[in-house]
Amino acid sequence: MEKDILIVIDYQVDFVSGALANPAAETLEAGIEARVREYRQADKPVIFTKDTHLEEYLNTREGKFLPVPHCVRGTEGWGLYGSLSDYEEHVQDGVMIVEKATFGSPALPAAVRLMCGGDPDRIELCGVVTDICVVSNAILLHSEFLNTEIAVNSALCAAMTPEGHERALTLLAGMGYTIV
């Protein structure tokens, strides 16, 4: 049996309807939820990443680049968006939440190995923001899992602009990632 894992990147209130609201991200909820259900029904693991900042975020290099307080731990904007918040409130086997302080998560590869019992055969990514956090985590995962197919589900990702979304997908496709 193949070891596949789904990673939902930063599908949080602040990126959908909060501080960095993106109407394109709101349209992803039903599709992401359906994809999570498919993985869980097939007994395949799912990881949700959560962009996680503290009050001093605006003093960091990233905070100076993106000077909007968002995803501050414990706030409403930090939570998973919509129906996906059920996974956070009712943690279950086969589902993990990984907090990350910046665009890419150095803890993600270890979490993937833990959930898959070793290196996975395939990692599927979806979520937001395509041209920032999705790209960052795809590259980070590729660097760790050289023999793993890394697929980006383009229909279940969104950037702040359609152009940013397309640029990110073009970049990833040019680097050998599977775009589905």
pTM summary value: 0.95
The answer on pLDDT for 66 being more than 80 is no
Predicted confidence (pLDDT) per residue in 140-159, tens digit:
999 999 999 999 999 999 99
Burial of 157 (0-12, 13-18, 19+ CB in 10 A): buried
- Stretch among 3-12, 62-71, 76-85, 154-163 having the lowest mean pLDDT: 62-71
Q: Are 175 and 150 a contacting pair, CB within 8 Å?
A: no
The Cα–Cα gap between 132 and 125 comes to: 13
**Is CATH 3.40.50.850 correct for 4-179?**
yes
Domain assignments of the chain as residue spans, ordered by start: 4-179
Angle at 96 between CA 123 and CA 148, to 5 degrees: 15
